[in-house]
Homo-oligomer: A and B are copies of this chain.
Amino acid sequence: MTPNPTACLLVIGNEVLSGRTQDANIKFLATRLGEIGIPLREVRIIPDVAETIIATVNAVRPMFDHVFTTGGIGPTHDDITSECVAAAFGVPWEPHPEAWARMERHYKPGEFNPARQRMATMPRGASLIDNAISIAPGFTIGNVHVMAGVPRIMQSMFDTLAPRLAGGPPIVARAVHALGLAEGRIADGLAAIQGRYPGLDVGSYPYYRASGNGVAIVAKGPDPAAAEAAIAEVTALMQALGHAPIQGEPPV
């Protein structure tokens, strides 16, 4: 079986690092990328600092099949993602003819000012990623996909982008949970099950809810039959420990 292609996400911007903003993009992209079989393998949240952005883009683009970025493509001085990606690829940062023409038409005479012109300036060779919300597009260069940080704009850009990406089999998850079960009691048996299913990630997640505490076991991978077989073994293990397992994730 060909391994799935992999993804890395760079969240660019000071607002998540300062605690001002709760990130809303990681979970969306993690979920959607899993569905198209390009599992997210790493996320880096980095500040609006040119040398950090350039070095990070160049560190990760050979490590993963796809690199997605969010944030830093607006018109203000702290929006430097686009010029940094050009620097990382060693190509000129120049007006993109199609983006430029589109934005020039969009704004009233005199309003397509230098700040807004920056949003139509891109690494040479970039292809546009349109979105249904704003006139300013994202872009792809090489295996790097540059998207907005505002969640609804980013989501619309990802809808445009997803059909262009060659994915693998979807990553599916199967789960079972048991109230009152401690991780420390199931750990040894669980390690043995993980050992029998090397193509799956078998994860153990304690939960603490008003309705009770317990542990959820999740098996994830591209092979649904394997995930179901592993969860059946976990279910039997929970029963052998005297618990009454419940299929699926615990209710939120």
* A19 CB–B CB distance under 8 Å: yes
B188 and A113 contact, CB distance less than 8 A: yes
Proximity bits, A48-83, B CB within 8 Å = 1, else 0: 100010000000000000000000001111110000
B206 and A150 contact, CB distance less than 8 A: yes
Q: Determine the chain B residues whose CB is within 8 A of the CB of A13 once the complex forms.
A: 203
Q: Say whether chain A's binding surface is mostly helix, strand, loop, or mixed.
A: mixed
A115 and B16 contact, CB distance less than 8 A: no
Query: For residue A193, which residue of chain B has the nearest CB?
Result: B77
Bound CA–CA A79/B13 (angstroms): 30
* A88 CB–B CB distance under 8 Å: no
Q: Quote the shortest CB–CB distance from A73 to chain B (angstroms).
A: 11
Q: Quote the shortest CB–CB distance from A102 to chain B (angstroms).
A: 15
Q: Given A45-B43, A204-B74, A206-B150, are A184 and B18 also a contact pair (CB < 8 Å)?
A: no
B19 and A27 contact, CB distance less than 8 A: yes
A18 and B40 contact, CB distance less than 8 A: yes
What interface size band does chain A fall in?
35 or more
B23 and A26 contact, CB distance less than 8 A: yes
Interface centre among A29, A48, A111, A115 (most CB of B within 10 A): A115
B20 and A41 contact, CB distance less than 8 A: no
Bound CA–CA A13/B218 (angstroms): 13
A194 and B150 contact, CB distance less than 8 A: no
* A94 CB–B CB distance under 8 Å: no
* A137 CB–B CB distance under 8 Å: no
Query: For residue A118, which residue of chain B has the nearest CB?
Result: B187
Which chain A residues numbered 104 to 158 have a C-beta less than 8 Å away from chain B?
111, 113-116, 119, 150, 152
B187 and A76 contact, CB distance less than 8 A: yes
A184 and B116 contact, CB distance less than 8 A: yes
Which chain A residues numbered 18 to 50 have a C-beta less than 8 Å away from chain B?
18-23, 26-32, 34, 39-48
Bound CA–CA A187/B47 (angstroms): 19
Q: Determine the chain B residues whose CB is within 8 A of the CB of A113 once the complex forms.
A: 184-185, 187-188
* A233 CB–B CB distance under 8 Å: no
Having A15-B203, A21-B205, A76-B204, one finds 8 other A-B pairs with CB under 8 Å, namely A11-B43, A18-B34, A21-B27, A23-B27, A74-B204, A76-B183, A78-B204, A115-B188
